[in-house]
Chain A
């Protein structure tokens, strides 16, 4: 096919792909450019435009000065909340998923495929079916409006995904390996630490990226179970747009949107390959 490289059809292909790529990048470009334009500049024109003076102050204001729902601390506290929820919930759900995946695939016990089947149903069950029960559980355990409550929710619910990912990966490990180790007298934990974990980095990276993105971007539980200063950044962004509707401050809001999106965008840039693997993990099997 080499000789066809400069055929008109090739040029057309490049043209179409580039046009779509520009359209796909446009929203990101708009946010980045607006985050560097002053509020007055945006108010005079539209949200689409090149910054005349780089207004870096938008980032400072968005980070620590902007008012969201009567508190003027920017989105810093909410970013912190999201981190406090996302990091432990990602670690816990990934580790527990690895152990569970190992147990149902290689250790095997009575009823393992049943319980595995039920756990993975959680991938399909809509959040709305769990909203009221979680409300009751959080209220009764005193975890309503706490970040710990969100960590608990995301850890338990995340197990559905992490167990599925890890199980799909561990089925490729030959059971003879485990059997041999057991003959040598190794127990459940020893096999996990010595054999399973050293084999796991590829799937753990996928799982961590998936869980982090998922939990960081989550909105419904955050907005339902926390209020005010306890909210994650997704909920704060919605509160912020309501505040902006009264007094247009789109430059600052763009900076806030950019900051809130940065952690998952960075993860995507660094681990894009693994991100795609996570996306397609359940679908292709």
Chain B
């Protein structure tokens, strides 16, 4: 303890405060702006969701009417169904793809750096670009189907983009291509940090590569897996740009997602109250994912301290 240091007395004198004003302003202004806008904006949006606001924000109280209107709308119901399907399919498949890629890259292969860069580059590109490019590839009149037709196989069909039931899967494909590199990067870091003694001990016991992964290495990846799931779910819940560029919610409203419904209500139909209610519902879905995760992290950290 360095008790002798008295540069920070308990109550600074007024002159000291003035002298330290630039410092206080530099610390507090950006932090307060950031923190205050988060709290104020959230509270304001929640408040608006309980008002009868349409074109402009107005005072008043309608209770949960905006929420029930959103929940009853076909648009929102389809968006929720889609989110459920898209979220689970995307998370599971990108997890699997990422894990397979990580295990393959972990085999001390040549050109690992180049391959890793290839699997990761989609993350650097905007969803607008990604969505546009995939809309070409998946467009039956322009992309893969057209190519196969031109090559002579005219009965080939790959028209998910314009198929009401399958269109949501085009978003899954593009999202996996875009983001499974992220899962790969985290898994690879995890694989590389497995205790070398553990591997050596298993080798001495005569474990082959498959048993080694199943029994020794993969079990250590659980914490990373949970983290990846949460981050990918968070991405799935707020997906907007990708759908906007790939299908724009269509055909019809077949690929509607919550973030598109919010935008539609707020800026296309000018139903501010309902749009805010939909945004709050999005936040609640997100919290349903994040709060258990935060609790889990908290428990883990306490265990680590006590261990």
Contact = CB atoms under 8 A, between A and B. Distances in A.
Contacts of B276: 132
Given A99-B26, A219-B241, A284-B224, 9 more contacts: A13-B104, A46-B146, A48-B144, A115-B31, A118-B34, A129-B41, A131-B262, A159-B30, A237-B128
A149 B125 CA distance: 24
Interface string A266-285: 01110010011001100110
B119 A20 contact: yes
Interface stretch (B66-74, B107-115, B160-168): B107-115
Query: Which 3 pairs of residues, A with B, have the shortest CB-CB distance?
Result: A217-B126, A268-B124, A46-B146
B189 A280 contact: yes
B38 interface: yes
Interface string B162-203: 000000000000000100001001100100000000000000
A248 to B, nearest CB: 9
B283 interface: yes
B79 interface: no
B38 A121 contact: yes
A129 B186 contact: no
A211 interface: no
B5 A103 contact: no
Contact of B35 (A96, A119, A260, A279): A119
A17 B26 contact: no
A194 interface: no
Nearest to A126: B238
Interface stretch (A22-30, A53-61, A63-71, A195-203): A22-30
**Taking chain B's interface residues, is the majority helix, strand, or loop, or is none over half, making it mixed?**
helix
Given A17-B104, A133-B40, A156-B33, A279 B283 contact: no
Contact of B124 (A115, A136, A187, A265): A265
Contacts, number: 244
A284 B186 contact: yes
A121 B245 CA distance: 28
A125 interface: yes
Interface of B: 2, 5, 7, 20, 22-23, 26-27, 30-35, 37-42, 44-45, 48, 57, 101, 104-105, 107-109, 115, 117-130, 132-137, 139, 142-144, 146-147, 150, 177, 182, 185-186, 189, 224, 227-228, 231, 234, 237-238, 240-241, 244-245, 259, 262-263, 266-267, 272, 275-276, 278-280, 282-283, 286, 290
Contact of B185 (A127, A129, A280): A280
Nearest to A122: B38
A131 B189 contact: no
B241 A220 contact: yes
Contacts of A154: none
Contact of A118 (B38, B109, B290): B38
A247 interface: no
A62 B238 CA distance: 31
B7 A188 contact: no
Given A129-B42, A183-B5, A283 B133 contact: no
A237 B129 contact: yes
A260 B129 contact: yes
Interface of A: 1, 10, 13-14, 16-17, 20-21, 23-28, 30-31, 34, 42, 45-49, 96, 99-100, 103-104, 107, 109, 115-116, 118-119, 121-122, 124-134, 136, 156-157, 159-160, 163, 179, 182-183, 187-189, 213, 216-220, 224, 234, 237-238, 241, 250, 253, 257, 260-261, 264-265, 267-269, 272, 275-276, 279-280, 283-284
A234 B126 contact: yes
B240 A219 contact: yes
A118 B124 contact: no
A129 B189 contact: no
A133 B276 CA distance: 10
A130 B41 contact: yes
Given A238-B128, A261-B129, A124 B34 contact: no
A284 B280 contact: no
B133 A257 contact: yes
A220 B245 CA distance: 12
Contacts of B282: 126, 128-129
A27 B133 contact: yes
B122 A24 contact: yes
A250 B136 CA distance: 9
Contact of B143 (A48, A238, A276): A48
B45 A133 contact: yes
Nearest to B142: A47
B118 A125 contact: no
A13 B106 CA distance: 11
